[in-house]
Chain A
């Protein structure tokens, strides 16, 4: 009995001791400290849905969209640039200029009494230098016409100037210049004519143009001095600050050139000139908006496509499809103030090689010239303008075979802390799901690179392709191509991701049938990208 009691007591004590251990807070605290947590979480990282317009807006230097969409949602890429914009003041310039004329008395009078006078009449025809232009008349906004007279007569002379070719308020301008002899010669005087709202008739005898006529009547008042035949009158004119409202005649605007400029073609901004690229019906359309009443034509000093990544050029000047010179419609006299619109288009097979060279710049420069003979009367108003723009249209129906693009994105990724001794990343998998509605295979590779663009790692398995969608005969989407890719990020890759400064994207596009079939691109096609990560890690105390 006693032994049984001892055994029972021992069991009770032992049991009590075990219970105490089970619920010992200190031991529980130690157990919690030693607990290792090893979950595996799958979380979404990022997502995006991109239409063609989204991609082009990201690559285009110009934020404006170049996508045009028709009623069937078919996409045409349109690149437009203004290649010339000329005002009247750019094409017709009259510079400040001066003329000089002299005439003598032509008589010898030993003594001209004070009660007597001598009248000398003289007509001057002063020519205006205006290059090759033959001006019949000009309506002026403003300007100055100054006449300076010097006289060697030893008498007072009154000059009555009549300008039959300068009309103001319907009448020829007249000026009087009085020169008073005070014992020495020459005696000088000036008349200044404000040409504001004046009409200059520069056509003399219907055959001589660019001429200002001045009729001079000089009245010499006798003072008992003699008049020699050599006594002389000098007339000097100065024309300054001419601002015309209209000019009429036989005008010439040749030798006017625009600066070399370019239109960016964003779809090829990252093109590497690899593979082939064709559009079934590309076109370059020139549009002219002309209110200059002078028959004009354009010569291209430059017109070529350039891929700045590869240096490949395609010169269109030598193309037979581009006339040289290219004539432009101009308004006739009875169409003053009107703007005539005209256009000219080159396209089709003439641009095939141009497109295939994948130019990301259309470079242009033009020279303007008068295209008619001197027998056609013409005009230029102060409001006259000439605008020329060029539009490259690329309806997205065509094919591509390994059409390559290349881009670099600067990044900085500091998400994984491999130096954290409490967290061990056991496994990291990056999931990429791409749904491709475009009828184009995209082969691509992503490279991590340092700040000097030295490649440190490749992220995708070799031969990664985002397959094209399936489309029916009408080009309608049947099903999207799907890429579902798991990329294992091991410890070495983790380090390259942590230290990368750039991601280099190399991709190539191939349309259906290995690039041999034409496909159409519609605006509602999109590329859905989803990124997620599955990570198994251990958190140690």
Chain B
């Protein structure tokens, strides 16, 4: 039971993954920043990411509700307030998990040119859950008569590895333009193209229930593995390409504007593909109860079997093995930066995220300060998807060439996890050599 509740807790201390790495975007000493805008230049001439340790990022988010919405502390005991949890939910809610591990990275500045490469392992999972379903279970359907209850659960998940080769160039000390070309190797994917399930209880038909259904899900890599690691790590046929584009323009000596478009590309999934499609898309099943003329003491089990068979037919899925394509987690950044004095900056940063045709956005206000060559920090305040209590902090320490950093976009989630809907952090070690000429 304790393990259950521990696991239960994880899904309630969460962070909207679309707010991922807002703080990183504003920390110039950390070279992983280039992944967010390929036009950015790191402060060091050379950097090497320590394999497996240079960047580990994790984020959780639950847009529906906070832990404290459900669990109330009253004295020294707890009370579950399901009604309050449901009140806090939106009609459509998202549970999101993302992780990012840099396997290797390297960057080199030569004059006005900056070359970089990186290998990153990434995984994203987004689970959409409707409020109607939980209201149906908890409150029943009597308060929702004649209205369609949405039971549209969706899951989209992707695990891939990207091999990125980047280049940017500075023009006139004012403009930098950069790009990264990425080869994508896909490992697993779940892509929900359609998940339309509705249940309507009709009061005028003595509560007859109408159920509609249309499901279309593609998967890759979920089947049995052959146990050979090389086949899994390098042998799949799921490939694609993506590009990152960015710019950084100094309007004045103090004011600059920058922006980027990331993950413009797709993966074609071919290995171990299973497509699941409703046999009868948009079929309708109406449950009106037991037929009176067939009702007897002996008939109830056979009628129940008929009903079960009808539901099975409604939800029956056909299976194919057709390759398909999915996009990546496309991001668009736009920011403005004002240099107060050397090493001290403030700014505003707008992020728009699009994962599998589902979009979200965030606005962040930040302060970044480099106090010495050894330490720099950033503080941000982010408004995201109706949440206005996200305080981000970042810290970078350099001990000689060894650099350590830790970032979070929601510091408060560490201290009041019960009130947090967003949680993320990124940390890692890099080796940095030489100074950038403008330091």
Interface residues of A (CB under 8 A from B): 15, 18-19, 21-32, 34-35, 37, 39-48, 50, 54, 412, 431-433, 484, 529-534, 536
Other A-B contacts than A22-B67, A48-B292, A431-B206, 16 sampled, CB-CB below 8 A, are A29-B1, A31-B71, A34-B80, A35-B80, A42-B145, A42-B207, A43-B209, A44-B287, A45-B206, A46-B295, A47-B206, A47-B288, A47-B292, A48-B293, A530-B208, A532-B207
B427 beta carbon closer than 8 Å to chain A: no
Say which one of B135-143, B186-194, B225-233 lies at the interface with A: B135-143
Closest to B137 in A: A39
Min Cβ gap B413→A in Å is 12
Q: How far is the CA of A434 from the CA of B293 in the complex (A)?
A: 15
Closest to A434 in B: B206
Closest to A427 in B: B142
Closest to A33 in B: B80
Interface residues of B in 284-298 (CB under 8 A from A): 287-293, 295, 297
B82 beta carbon closer than 8 Å to chain A: yes
B73 touches A44 (CB 8 A): no
A41 touches B78 (CB 8 A): no
B394 beta carbon closer than 8 Å to chain A: no
A31 touches B78 (CB 8 A): yes
Q: How far is the CA of A342 from the CA of B6 in the complex (A)?
A: 93
Q: How far is the CA of A536 from the CA of B82 in the complex (A)?
A: 17
B71 touches A30 (CB 8 A): no
Residues of A within 8 A of B293 (CB): 48, 50, 54
Interface residues of B in 1-23 (CB under 8 A from A): 1-2, 5-6, 8-9
Residues of B within 8 A of A532 (CB): 205-208, 289
Q: How far is the CA of A318 from the CA of B138 in the complex (A)?
A: 73
A531 touches B6 (CB 8 A): no
Contact with A along B281-315 (1 / 0, CB 8 A): 00000011111110101000000000000000000
B289 touches A531 (CB 8 A): yes
Interface residues of B in 171-203 (CB under 8 A from A): 201, 203
B79 beta carbon closer than 8 Å to chain A: yes
B207 touches A431 (CB 8 A): yes
Residues of B within 8 A of A34 (CB): 79-80
Interface residues of B in 389-439 (CB under 8 A from A): 415, 417-418
Min Cβ gap A138→B in Å is 59
Q: List 6 A-B contacts (CB under 8 A).
A: A18-B73, A25-B1, A42-B145, A43-B209, A44-B205, A47-B289
B253 beta carbon closer than 8 Å to chain A: no
4 A-B pairs with the lowest CB-CB distances in the bound complex, closest first: A48-B292, A532-B206, A39-B140, A532-B207
B224 beta carbon closer than 8 Å to chain A: no
Closest to A37 in B: B138
A534 touches B207 (CB 8 A): yes
Q: How far is the CA of A541 from the CA of B16 in the complex (A)?
A: 35
Residues of B within 8 A of A433 (CB): 204-206
Contact with A along B94-115 (1 / 0, CB 8 A): 0000000000000000000000
Chain B interface category by residue count? 35 or more
In the complex with contacts A25-B6, A29-B5, A39-B138 CB distance below 8 A: yes
B289 touches A46 (CB 8 A): yes
A48 touches B291 (CB 8 A): yes
In the complex with contacts A22-B73, A35-B80, A46-B209 CB distance below 8 A: no
A41 touches B208 (CB 8 A): no
A530 touches B205 (CB 8 A): yes
B288 touches A44 (CB 8 A): yes
B68, B143, B201, B289 interface centre (most CB from chain A within 10 Å):
B289
In the complex with contacts A31-B79, A35-B80, A35-B82, A42-B201 CB distance below 8 A: yes
Min Cβ gap A111→B in Å is 100
Min Cβ gap A403→B in Å is 23
Residues of B within 8 A of A28 (CB): 5, 8, 71, 78
In the complex with contacts A25-B2, A45-B289, A40-B206 CB distance below 8 A: no
Closest to B295 in A: A46
Min Cβ gap A59→B in Å is 13
Closest to B204 in A: A433
Q: How far is the CA of A533 from the CA of B206 in the complex (A)?
A: 8
B82 touches A42 (CB 8 A): no
A21, A32, A43, A533 interface centre (most CB from chain B within 10 Å):
A43
B77 beta carbon closer than 8 Å to chain A: yes
Min Cβ gap B133→A in Å is 13
Residues of B within 8 A of A48 (CB): 291-293
Q: How far is the CA of A433 from the CA of B76 in the complex (A)?
A: 52
Q: How far is the CA of A532 from the CA of B142 in the complex (A)?
A: 12
Interface residues of B in 34-89 (CB under 8 A from A): 67-68, 71, 73, 76-80, 82
Residues of A within 8 A of B205 (CB): 44, 433, 530, 532
Closest to A50 in B: B293
Residues of B within 8 A of A19 (CB): 417-418
B289 touches A44 (CB 8 A): yes
Residues of B within 8 A of A42 (CB): 140-142, 145, 201, 203, 207
B142 touches A31 (CB 8 A): no
B208 touches A46 (CB 8 A): no
A530 touches B288 (CB 8 A): yes
Residues of B within 8 A of A529 (CB): 292
In the complex with contacts A35-B82, A45-B289, A531-B206, A22-B142 CB distance below 8 A: no
Min Cβ gap A326→B in Å is 43
B142 touches A21 (CB 8 A): no
Min Cβ gap B107→A in Å is 41
Q: How far is the CA of A29 from the CA of B1 in the complex (A)?
A: 8
Min Cβ gap A489→B in Å is 15
